[in-house]
């Protein structure tokens, strides 16, 4: 058997920046959440559109900060998941 075929494989997965996730969510709301969590961004996009229609846009003062917090939490959870894979393969 060839020893070259037994080399270990290293997969590098970059972490996401919580600061960038928060800034994107501040400036772009639910669209900015797509950096942190795609499913969360889609959910908040739908919720924000419905709330904006019902409240004539004033409900975005409630949903926009939720997007920012959710983006920070989701990015932090993603980074922890990546780091746990490194320590516990």
pLDDT tens-digit readout, 14-41:
899 999 999 999 999 999 999 999 999 9
CA distance 50 to 70: 18
Residue 9 has pLDDT above 80, yes or no: no
CA distance 24 to 35: 8
Task: Report pLDDT digits (tens) over 45-75.
Answer: 999 999 999 999 999 999 999 999 999 999 9
Instruction: Name the pTM for this structure.
Output: 0.83
């Amino acid at each position: 058997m060839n020893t070259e075929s037994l080399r270990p494989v290293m997969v590098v997965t970059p972490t996401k920046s919580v600061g960038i996730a928060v800034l994107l969510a501040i400036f772009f709301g639910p669209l900015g959440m797509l950096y942190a969590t795609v499913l969360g961004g889609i959910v908040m996009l739908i919720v924000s559109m419905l709330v904006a229609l019902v409240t004539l846009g004033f409900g975005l003062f409630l949903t926009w900060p939720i997007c920012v917090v959710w983006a920070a939490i989701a990015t932090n959870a993603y980074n922890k998941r990546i780091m746990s894979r490194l320590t516990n393969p």
